[in-house]
Structure 1
């Protein structure tokens, strides 16, 4: 069974990946109007997560990433597995907290950035040792540097 909303989200994501940020934003906005704040948590999480990536204003990006986190908090593994058998909600949190930490850093709120960096770092065990998981870990390490965490500190390295 095809999830039409997830297919539409993927179409918007592909537009973004191909360089059409404005087109992706338009698709995502129209789709959000359809599913809304009370829609399916999987749809809200995915859509808000990708919508944040096409925002030009860091405050808007933060608002969308907060929506994605709230949706993940209400999402069940059962619902995630209905979409794809390999999904587990705990696997969403490393990326969600990474994005929030970066949003707060861009906005100059380094305390909130470090808080989300720490929260996300605690979820890295949910990632596999695949290119996606390793990329997220590298992104945590790079963000640690931007946040001024000391390279020799045990807090610096996300996970090895």
Structure 2
């Protein structure tokens, strides 16, 4: 994740700008921008663009069913990604590193919907991919969230987590 390609990716930049707007409180504006970009990219567009956009757009919905729809799209796009495409954006990053967070989000969506069996399957997948995470702040954050969601699944808790995006 240390080096970014020399030629900026306009779509990823636009996604980043929308995400920043959402994190700054302009959630509806961010959603509109990302949905418009989704239509520009198309369902057969660049899988890195689709995965990144859907992953972030899911976080902009409080409704777990709506978040789930976007998280499923993110996972589907990741399944179409190849390491070469990811490495052209960030060196030393592979597709497998996406899966802990993608499965974590799906587990959390299903948990919030009360579908604990599906949630358990995705939390198990998040744990399987956990070793792909680096030993850095992001890796520790995702690992901690995996355990937090796993505990909530075990306890059959459907409330939104305080630490969720």
Q: For residues 144 and 9 of structure 1, what CA distance do their matches in structure 2 show? A: 30
Q: Which moved more, 1:52-61 or 1:127-136?
A: 52-61
Q: After the TM superposition, which residues 43-62 of structure 1 pair with which residues of structure 2 at under 5 Å, given as runs? A: 43-62=49-68
Structure 2, unpaired ranges of 5+: 1-6, 156-165
For residue 132 of structure 1, what is the aligned residue in structure 2? Answer: 138
Q: CA deviation at 1:17?
A: 1.6
Q: For residues 128 and 135 of structure 2, what CA distance do their matches in structure 1 show? A: 16
After TM superposition, the runs of 4+ consecutive aligned structure 1 residues lying more than 2 A away are: none
Q: For residues 81 and 154 of structure 2, what CA distance do their matches in structure 1 show? A: 33
Q: Which TM-score applies when normalising by structure 1?
A: 0.90
Q: For residues 22 and 130 of structure 1, what CA distance do their matches in structure 2 show? A: 32
Q: Which TM-score applies when normalising by structure 2?
A: 0.88
Point out which structure has higher relative CO (alpha carbons under 8 A, 6+ apart): 2
**What do you get for the CA RMSD once the two structures are aligned?**
0.9
For residue 34 of structure 2, what is the aligned residue in structure 1? Answer: 28
For residue 154 of structure 1, what is the aligned residue in structure 2? Answer: none
Matched pairs, number: 149
Q: For residues 58 and 127 of structure 1, what CA distance do their matches in structure 2 show? A: 25
Structure 1, unpaired ranges of 5+: 150-160
Q: After the TM superposition, which residues 94-105 of structure 1 pair with which residues of structure 2 at under 5 Å, given as runs? A: 94-105=100-111
For residue 151 of structure 2, what is the aligned residue in structure 1? Answer: 145
The one of 108, 111, 114 equivalent to 1:108 is 114
Q: For residues 88 and 13 of structure 1, what CA distance do their matches in structure 2 show? A: 22
